Amino acid sequence: MSDPPAYRHPPYQGGQGGSNLKSILNLIITSYLIRAG
């Protein structure tokens, strides 16, 4: 039984994961603004 990759490699660790997380946050904010507007 191995741990899921998401648990072994958190998105907030490492430079690549940081940029990916920022992109996801940007997408959420953009969609929220579109729905609010």
Helix (H) and strand (E) counts in the chain: 2, 0
Q: 6-26: per-residue pLDDT in tens?
A: 555 555 555 566 678 888 999
Asked whether the predicted pLDDT for residue 34 surpasses 70, the reply is yes
First to last CA, the chain: 47
pLDDT of residue 30: 93
- 31 or 21, higher pLDDT: 31
pLDDT of residue 27: 92
Asked whether the predicted pLDDT for residue 35 surpasses 60, the reply is yes
